[in-house]
Amino acid sequence: MVTEQLRPHGVTDQRVLEAMASVPREEFLAPRMRRHAYEDRALAIECGQTISQPLVVALMIQAAAPDPGDVALEVGTGSGYAAAVLSRMCRRVVSVEREPALAEHASDTLRRLGFDGVEVAVGDGSLGWPAAAPYDLILVAAAARGVPPALIDQLADGGRMVIPVAVSVEEPQDLRVYERRGGEVTYRSLFPVLFVPLRTG
């Protein structure tokens, strides 16, 4: 995966490559899906959700540029895979999942594999998780029609947020990196993506 998918397609941060290599992706999949674990594509998990393509996970984390002392928020826990990778590079990860069954399964998997730096919470990801804010980085694993104001509010000064934005129904989603500097928030586009929609409520 690292040699054939990540390095040739723009993943240059050695820490990201090492983190991706250290997390067993098959452990986050149902037994019948494990033989597909290292294929270069998103895979179906429970509750109509997906585990993202490894390259997309790696590029999102690289764009967020985590530091060892950072506190990160992930919106959309899903299987827990991306949170596990991110936890290799941050001090603490809070991951919010709206589907209780997914949150419970991800939490069990993370605990079983020894990823103690990840806390999984059940809630509306568009509202973030104010209890642990502010966050040095936020990764959103679902496409928003617009950037949720609560997530901007919970981003620390100097913080980075990587989020797919659904610009219109006719166009691919735009993966963006937002950065907060004082009262100013700017963004740059990365590349087109296809994520499940961010559901609110």
pLDDT of the residue at 169: 80
Question: In angstroms, rounded to a whole number, what is the distance separating the alpha carbons of residues 144 and 136?
Answer: 20
Domain range list for the chain: 2-193
- Residue 185: strand pairing partners: 180
**Number of CB atoms found within 10 A of residue 3's CB:** 9
DSSP per-residue codes, 97-127:
ES-HHHHHHHHHHHHHTT-TTEEEEES-GGG
Asked whether 199 and 188 are in contact (CB, 8 A), the reply is no
Q: Which of 22, 52, 168, 189 is catalytic?
A: 52
107 is catalytic: no
Question: What are the strands of the beta sheet with 135-140, ordered from one edge?
Answer: 118-122, 92-97, 71-75, 135-140, 155-165, 173-181, 184-193
In terms of pTM, does the model score above 0.85?
Answer: yes
CATH topology of domain 2-193: Rossmann fold (3.40.50)
Angle at 188 between CA 5 and CA 18, to 5 degrees: 30
Query: How far apart (Å, rounded) are the C-alpha atoms in residues 88 and 17?
Result: 11
Q: Please give the backbone phi and psi of residue 5, each rounded to the nearest 5 degrees, phi first.
A: -110, -40
Written as tens digits, the pLDDT of the chain (201 aa) is: 999 999 999 999 999 999 999 999 999 999 999 999 999 899 999 988 889 999 999 999 999 999 999 999 999 999 999 999 999 999 999 999 999 999 999 999 999 999 999 999 999 999 999 999 999 999 999 999 889 999 999 999 999 999 999 988 878 899 999 999 988 999 999 999 989 889 887
- Which of 148, 167, 175, 155 is CA-nearest to residue 53? 175
32 three-class SS = helix
DSSP string, 47-86: GG-EEPPHHHHHHHHHHH---TT-EEEEE--TTSHHHHHH
Bond before 134 cis per omega within 30 degrees: yes
Q: Tokens 């609110």 identify what position?
A: 200
